[in-house]
């Protein structure tokens, strides 16, 4: 079927987008690549549509579908949305995104290149033609280009080449795309979603939450936007949650079950009420977790899939816990569920287990804690649990938690590191106690250099003051100026352990201190009412000893190898900032959106692209393994393995777009 005919079907409502489809996610690079492929007559793939009855069809966008049957686009949304926007000059009715992603496309008649409008590079060059203007006016509009082109063409042959290229761009509308149809009365929405996931096996599959949301939107069309609004509010507060996660919280509140199939029969009014109650419960829990544990931003917020269980419990309590003891018992369970990865595997199964345990509210939290103990085999923290490395280690957030709840002190000014610190130089930064440069110089391995036990948190100003000095040099000064501040950060006070030759012994001693501190704090959350089954926790506090019961989990791949590499990355970051682009995040923790678990550490990453909405996520990965590169690629990152190539990408593909956007904004 010709592209022009497909666009006509969209105009008449004979082709639409099923409600379970996600919104438009392409960026300008992909839109431009599609047009370049079509211009070169390269294959761009076929379309897959579901032919179903119009009556009762669940579709996205305003307006109506044509009577009788409608073709719902299963595979090809991004391509057809882009083509519609370029050929029609406006987005289709089902569009959900920023239309600037595909508007302003230009084509150079000399170079035969597609690019988005940049006044600096295009204003005085008549060979850049507006593709949408050409498409809208069709062959009758070519006349408008004849005079300007005749003035710049160096020969009649070149003039004819220009006209031929104009016609070739126009001919994109008449390219045939193969359309595969899914038909039959047996093709229910569940069957179709399964087909969709099989077809899109190389991309992002539809989740069970997508299907549940599609059915909700059939009765409550504004549901998607309402959920996004709630997520946006938490995003502004520094917590980045996925739509599936929020829907899971709504589901547990409404149905008392984890599986979304129980949500399918809920009415629009029920779902609206469930969302309101879920928002209230989540707000309360975030306040509790941030206020009691200091976990005040996304990087240290672990155990997010414990929250659907907590939301259900809190909602059953009418949105309010009885007293501090009940609050802290619930938080005790939360932090243990997070530390031991309770929901990192079969999420639905474990949520359902825990929901059944708390059906009867009396004694529910003690039963929940006991279930966690039986599942994990004990709840005491051992020194070996702090044996991980990198910011992706599961006990990295525990170190941050301990720093907050114990009000550990900054080594520069001796003041507690509370959450109300203000000012650019006062924000908390990770500090390597034994500097990386000094350790790499002595041939320590990356996991040793970046061990969690070598981390502490200091203000940016103090971090800069210490620089790359060794503890044997700067620890004595700190202890004289601010007595007790070293101990407040669980530093072994034996000066022999401050020598770089004793670094590995220092790590072991500090892990012991951290484990003792964690167990004391967690035991305190029980307010003296310690069930008999938690005797191991009491014993760990009374007589702490190393325990190899649980080996550390394998570290996530990726990390910054050396001080030189970090300086190179910082230089790139400074360079992008000088060009008016956002700074990337060093040692960015890439998480699986479904589980929240870290999957890789990216050296320098822009999660939302160098221009949000216009370019895809991008990362600079220096000296990383093929495994890390493959993970970055799987999660949609465009990555570069050397700084020269990365800078070239910015200069050639990003800066022109950035200047154009800035000019429009001004």
Assigned token pair, 69: 């049957």
The answer to whether residue 460 scores a pLDDT higher than 60 is yes
What is the dihedral sign for C-alpha 488, 491, 495, 499? negative
The answer to whether residue 551 scores a pLDDT higher than 90 is no
The answer to whether residue 545 scores a pLDDT higher than 60 is no
Asked if 105 and 132 count as a contact pair (C-beta separation under 8 A), the reply is: yes
Give the per-residue pLDDT at 204.
46
With 0-12 CB in 10 A as exposed, 13-18 as middle and 19+ as buried, what is 136? Answer: middle
The whole-number average pLDDT for the span 587-603 is: 77
- Give the three-state DSSP class for 129: strand
The whole-number average pLDDT for the span 1-20 is: 90
Give the per-residue pLDDT at 614.
56
98-to-19, 23, 143, 217, 657 alpha-carbon distances in Å: 19, 11, 32, 21, 15
606-to-172, 567, 590 alpha-carbon distances in Å: 34, 18, 11
User: Where are the strands (E) in 1-46, listed by range?
Assistant: 15-16
Please tell me the distance from the alpha carbon of residue 325 to that of residue 120, in angstroms, as a whole number.
64
Cα–chain center distance at 603: 16
Greater confidence (202 vs 506) lies with 506
Question: Closest Cα to residue 587, out of 237, 298, 299, 234?
Answer: 299
Give the per-residue pLDDT at 327.
96
The answer to whether residue 419 scores a pLDDT higher than 60 is no
- Give the three-state DSSP class for 20: coil
Pairing mode, strands 455-459 and 179-182: unpaired
Confidence of residue 198 (pLDDT cuts 50, 70, 90): low
Question: Closest Cα to residue 220, out of 270, 291, 290?
Answer: 270
Of 72-76, 283-287, 309-313, the range with the lowest mean pLDDT is 72-76
The whole-number average pLDDT for the span 74-95 is: 89
Helices 364-376, 307-316: axis angle to 10 degrees equals 160
Give the per-residue pLDDT at 221.
76
**Other CB atoms within 10 Å distance of the CB of residue 153:** 18
Please tell me the distance from the alpha carbon of residue 436 to that of residue 36, in angstroms, as a whole number.
46
Give the per-residue pLDDT at 202.
43
**Other CB atoms within 10 Å distance of the CB of residue 420:** 5
Asked if 114 and 107 count as a contact pair (C-beta separation under 8 A), the reply is: yes
Give the per-residue pLDDT at 190.
62
Please tell me the distance from the alpha carbon of residue 336 to that of residue 379, in angstroms, as a whole number.
7
The answer to whether residue 547 scores a pLDDT higher than 80 is no
CA atoms within 13 A on the CB side of 98: 13
The answer to whether residue 666 scores a pLDDT higher than 50 is no
Assigned token pair, 513: 């201190």
CB neighbour burial string for 545-555, b if at least 16 within 10 angstroms, e if fewer = eebeeeebeeb
The answer to whether residue 423 scores a pLDDT higher than 50 is no
Confidence of residue 521 (pLDDT cuts 50, 70, 90): very high
With 0-12 CB in 10 A as exposed, 13-18 as middle and 19+ as buried, what is 262? Answer: middle
Confidence of residue 458 (pLDDT cuts 50, 70, 90): very high
Please tell me the distance from the alpha carbon of residue 87 to that of residue 81, in angstroms, as a whole number.
10
Start-end of H helices in 256-323: 268-293, 307-316
Confidence of residue 550 (pLDDT cuts 50, 70, 90): very low
- Give the three-state DSSP class for 375: helix
Q: What's the mean per-residue pLDDT of the chain?
A: 84
Q: What residue has token string 């150079």? A: 108
With 0-12 CB in 10 A as exposed, 13-18 as middle and 19+ as buried, what is 529? Answer: exposed
Asked if 14 and 156 count as a contact pair (C-beta separation under 8 A), the reply is: no
Give the per-residue pLDDT at 664.
30
Asked if 556 and 599 count as a contact pair (C-beta separation under 8 A), the reply is: yes
Start-end of H helices in 482-502: 485-488
Q: What is the pLDDT of residues 227-260, one digit of tens each?
A: 989 999 998 988 888 888 999 999 999 999 988 8
Give the per-residue pLDDT at 503.
97
Q: Which helix or strand (DSSP H or E) is residue 564 part of?
A: helix 563-578
Q: Which helix or strand (DSSP H or E) is residue 536 part of?
A: helix 535-542
The answer to whether residue 181 scores a pLDDT higher than 60 is yes
Asked if 506 and 434 count as a contact pair (C-beta separation under 8 A), the reply is: yes
Give the per-residue pLDDT at 197.
59
Assigned token pair, 328: 């802290």
Start-end of H helices in 317-421: 324-339, 347-357, 364-376, 396-405
CB neighbour burial string for 102-121, b if at least 16 within 10 angstroms, e if fewer = bbbbbbbbeeeebbbbbeeb
Please tell me the distance from the alpha carbon of residue 240 to that of residue 242, in angstroms, as a whole number.
7
Q: Which helix or strand (DSSP H or E) is residue 585 part of?
A: strand 585-591
The whole-number average pLDDT for the span 284-290 is: 94
Asked if 152 and 124 count as a contact pair (C-beta separation under 8 A), the reply is: no
Q: What is the pLDDT of residues 328-359, one digit of tens each?
A: 999 999 999 999 988 876 788 999 999 999 99
Confidence of residue 406 (pLDDT cuts 50, 70, 90): very high
The answer to whether residue 101 scores a pLDDT higher than 90 is no
Greater confidence (611 vs 407) lies with 407
Q: What is the pLDDT of residues 123-137, one digit of tens each?
A: 788 899 999 999 998
Assigned token pair, 377: 């085999």
């Amino acid at each position: 079927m010709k592209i022009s005919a497909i666009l006509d079907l969209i105009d008449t409502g004979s082709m639409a987008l099923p409600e379970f489809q996600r919104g438009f996610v392409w960026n300008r690079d992909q839109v431009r690549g599609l047009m370049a492929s079509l211009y070169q007559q390269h294959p761009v793939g076929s379309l897959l549509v579901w032919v179903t009855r119009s009556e009762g069809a669940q579709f996205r966008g305003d307006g109506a579908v044509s009577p009788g049957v409608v073709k719902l686009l299963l595979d090809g949304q991004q391509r057809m949305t882009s083509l519609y926007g370029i050929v029609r000059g406006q987005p289709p009715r089902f569009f959900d995104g920023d239309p600037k992603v595909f508007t302003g496309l230009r084509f150079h008649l000399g170079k035969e290149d597609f690019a988005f409008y940049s006044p600096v590079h295009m204003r005085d060059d008549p060979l850049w033609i507006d593709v949408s203007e050409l498409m809208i006016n069709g062959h009758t509009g070519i006349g408008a280009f004849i005079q300007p082109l005749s003035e710049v063409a160096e020969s009649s042959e070149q003039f004819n080449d220009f006209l031929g290229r104009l016609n070739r761009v126009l001919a994109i509308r008449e390219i045939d795309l193969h359309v595969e149809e899914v038909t039959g009365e047996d093709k229910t929405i569940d069957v179709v979603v399964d087909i969709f996931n099989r077809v899109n096996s190389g991309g992002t599959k539809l989740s069970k939450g997508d299907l549940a949301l599609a059915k909700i939107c059939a009765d409550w069309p504004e549901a998607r936007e309402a959920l996004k609004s709630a997520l946006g509010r938490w995003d502004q507060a520094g917590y980045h949650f996925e739509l599936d996660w929020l829907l899971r919280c709504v589901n547990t509140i409404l149905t008392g079950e984890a599986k979304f199939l129980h949500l399918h029969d809920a009415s629009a009014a029920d779902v609206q009420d469930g969302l309101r109650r879920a928002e209230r419960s989540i707000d309360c829990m975030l306040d509790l977790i941030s206020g009691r544990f200091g976990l005040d931003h996304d990087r240290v917020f672990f155990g997010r899939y414990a929250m659907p269980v907590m939301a259900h419990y809190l909602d059953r309590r009418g949105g309010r816990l009885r007293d501090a003891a009940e609050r802290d018992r619930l938080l005790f369970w939360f932090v243990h569920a997070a530390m031991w990865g309770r929901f990192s595997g079969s999420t639905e199964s474990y949520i359902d287990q825990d929901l059944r345990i708390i059906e009867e509210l009396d004694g529910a939290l003690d039963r929940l804690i006991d279930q966690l103990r039986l599942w994990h085999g004990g709840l005491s923290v051992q020194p070996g649990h702090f044996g991980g490395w990198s910011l992706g280690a599961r006990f990295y957030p525990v170190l941050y938690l301990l720093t907050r709840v114990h009000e550990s002190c900054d080594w520069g000014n001796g003041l507690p590191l509370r959450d109300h610190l203000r000012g650019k130089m006062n924000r908390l930064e990770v500090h390597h106690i034994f500097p990386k440069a000094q350790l790499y110089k002595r041939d320590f391995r990356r996991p040793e250099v970046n061990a969690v036990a070598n981390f502490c948190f200091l203000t940016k100003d103090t971090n800069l003051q210490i620089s790359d000095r060794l503890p044997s040099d700067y620890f004595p000064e700190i202890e004289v100026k601010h007595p007790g501040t070293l101990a407040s950060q669980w530093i072994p006070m034996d000066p022999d352990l401050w020598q770089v030759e004793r670094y590995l012994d220092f790590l072991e001693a500090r892990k012991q201190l951290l484990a003792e501190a964690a167990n004391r704090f967690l035991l305190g959350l029980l307010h003296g009412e310690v069930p008999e089954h938690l005797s191991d926790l009491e014993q760990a506090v009374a007589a702490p000893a190393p325990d190899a019961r649980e080996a550390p989990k394998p570290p996530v791949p990726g990390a910054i190898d050396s001080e030189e590499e970090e300086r190179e990355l910082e230089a790139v970051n400074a360079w992008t900032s000088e060009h008016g682009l956002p700074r990337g995040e060093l040692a960015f923790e890439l998480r699986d959106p479904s589980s929240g678990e870290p999957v890789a550490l990216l050296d320098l990453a822009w999660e939302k692209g160098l221009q949000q909405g216009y370019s895809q996520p991008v990362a600079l990965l220096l000296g990383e393994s093929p495994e890390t590169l493959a993970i970055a690629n799987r999660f949609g990152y465009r990555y570069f393995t050397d700084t020269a190539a990365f800078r070239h990408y910015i200069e050639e593909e990003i800066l022109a777009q950035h200047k154009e956007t800035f000019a429009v904004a001004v």
